Structure formats: C-alpha cells, structure tokens
Amino acid sequence: MRYIEPIKVKVLMIFFFATGSFGIIVGLSPIAAGQQGIMITFMGVINIGLGAFFAFLFLTQIRQEPDKRKKKRNHD
C-alpha cells in the first residue's frame, strides 16, 4: 500500500472513530426507532472498523525515504 502522511491518517482515524461512536449512540438511543436505528448503529460499527483500519495503517507504516536517484546533483 502507498505511504500516507501521518497527519492525514490521524485526521481520518479521528473522523471515523468520532462519526462511528456518534452513529452508535444515536442508533441505540430512542431518537431513531425501529429499522432506522438498526441501520444507523450498523453504519456506526462500519465507521469504527474503518477507524481501526486507519489506526493499523498509522501504527505499521514505515517512513518513506526520499529517492536518492531523483536527487538533483550539483555540477560545479
């Protein structure tokens, strides 16, 4: 998988965890009744899973080193 900057991964991770937890809370509360509440809760669980995936990426990706072949040489 391609290297993603850590700041972008952190923002995505926080975004998915926040929306997932909000979706679970709203889905389980009496605000959303019946079938709608189940779907909102299910989508909240999917968002938590996506947040966990981005947390895994954040913790396991290796810092990308600049390509030395593309480095501009100084011809004096």
Find the range with the poorest average confidence among 11-20, 23-32, 36-45, 67-76.
67-76
67 in helix, strand or coil?
coil
Structure tokens given for 47 = 């968002």
Q: What CA–CA distance (Å, rounded) separates 76 from 74? A: 6
The conformation of residue 31, written as its DSSP 8-state character, comes to T
Residue type, 53: F
Residue 33 has pLDDT above 70, yes or no: yes
**Measured torsion, CA atoms of residues 15, 16, 22, 27, in degrees rounded to the nearest 10:** 150
Supply the pLDDT for residue 76.
58
pTM of the model: 0.77
pLDDT: is 63 or 73 the higher one?
63
For residue 73, pLDDT beyond 80: no
pLDDT(12) > 80:
yes
- Could you tell me the residue ranges of all domains in the chain? 10-59
